[in-house]
Amino acid sequence: MVEYTEAAAEIVEAFNEVPASSKLELLLEYANALPALPERYADHPELLERVEECQSPVYLFVEVKNGKANIFLTAPAEAPTTRGFASILQIALDGQSIGTITSFSDQFIQDLKLSELVSPLRIRGMHGMLSRIKRQVQEKSL
């Protein structure tokens, strides 16, 4: 059994509890919950890192302060699936410690069991987001 953050465990539980027919609705709820970027990033796109693994324009930024990380992600409204993935990772990892994030298991993405709903391309996009979050956290905590 892989250890997750409490928030991540709740998300896995939510996706595993709902019937298959409601999984998309759940993903849409997450997509709608993705917070807008704070002004300091919204006005400075050059500070954001593009997630090249995603076919939609997804950008992220990580702030590390006092050993904890805040995660900012953005994705366009016409790409709700990608927004959903970004939102899930943001909820799972935001405010966590550096160690928790860098050792966070990629298994999380498999455990959401989304591969029946979305194509492998999409799932890889989510892996891309996660690995870039981890890398930024590592770089910024040095």
Partner 1 sequence: MTYELDPNPKFAQYKHPEALVSTEWLTANLGKPGLVVIECDEDILLFETGHIPGAVKLDWHTELNHPITRDYLNGEDMAALLSAKGISRDDTLVIYGDKSNWWATYAFWVIKLFGHTDVRILDGGRAKWIDEGRELTTDSTNRSTTDYPVIARDDKNIRAFKEDVFAHFGKPLIDVRSPEEFSGERTHMPNYPDEGALRGGHIPTAASVPWSRAVEEDQTFKSIEDLTDVYINKAGIGAASDVIAYCRIGERSSHTWFVLKYLLGIEKVRNYDGSWTEWGSAVRVPIVKGSEPGVVPVGF
CA–CA separation, 142 and 64 (whole Å): 10
Enclosing H/E stretch for 133: helix 120-140
> Which among 57, 79, 69 has a CA at the least distance from the CA of 133?
69
The residue within the footprint of partner 1, chosen from 1, 6, 19, 25 (CB under 8 A), is 25
* Angle in degrees, 0-180, between the axes of helices 23-33 and 80-93, rounded to the nearest 10: 70
Window 71-110: contact mask with partner 1 (x via CB under 8 A): ------xxxxxx-x--------------------------
Tell me 36's DSSP state. P
The residue within the footprint of partner 1, chosen from 7, 14, 98, 117 (CB under 8 A), is 117
Site for partner 1 contains 124 (CB under 8 A): yes
CA 126 from chain center: how many Å? 7
Applying CB under 8 A, the span of 62-70, 86-94, 105-113, 119-127 interacting with partner 1 comes to: 119-127
Tell me which residues touch partner 1 (CB under 8 A). 24-25, 27-28, 31, 52-56, 77-82, 84, 116-121, 124-125, 128
